[in-house]
Amino acid sequence: MALLGVQKEFTEALCEMWDKGEDDGLDKGNKQRYQKAKQEYEITYPCCICGELLYIHPNSDSHKAVMQFLKEKGWGHAKCVDNKK
């Protein structure tokens, strides 16, 4: 009977270590995917005073200003702009 108790404790400990390893792996993978997405899609611009980067967050005033600027300058899909000419 004592052997079954040890086996159960070992199995439980092994399961805990497995779960922790899985969680650690998921955390690391999520951080890597977040960093890759951030590098590919994050839009920044330098401050006109200090040069430090500012981030354009969705629906922020700077985001709305960028959208307005692009619209005023006639930016659009290449096929749409070409068809308008």
Tens-digit pLDDT profile for residues 17-74: 777 777 777 777 788 888 888 888 889 999 999 999 999 998 999 999 999 999 999 9
Output the pLDDT for position 60: 93
- What are the b/e assignments for 32-48, b being 16+ CB within 10 Å? eeeeeeeeeeeeeeeee
Q: Does residue 5 register a pLDDT over 70?
A: no
Q: Which residues constitute the domain of residue 59?
A: 43-85
The closest alpha carbon to 42, from 33, 61, 55, belongs to 55
Q: 47 with 27, same domain?
A: no
* Residues 59, 36 share a domain: no
For residue 2, what pLDDT is reported? 57
Same-domain pairing of 34 and 52:
no
Positive or negative, the Cα torsion across 40, 43, 47, 48? positive
Helix (H, G, I), strand (E, B) or coil at 47: coil
**How many structural domains are present in the chain?**
2
Pair 53, 65 in one domain: yes
Domain identity same for 37 and 11: yes
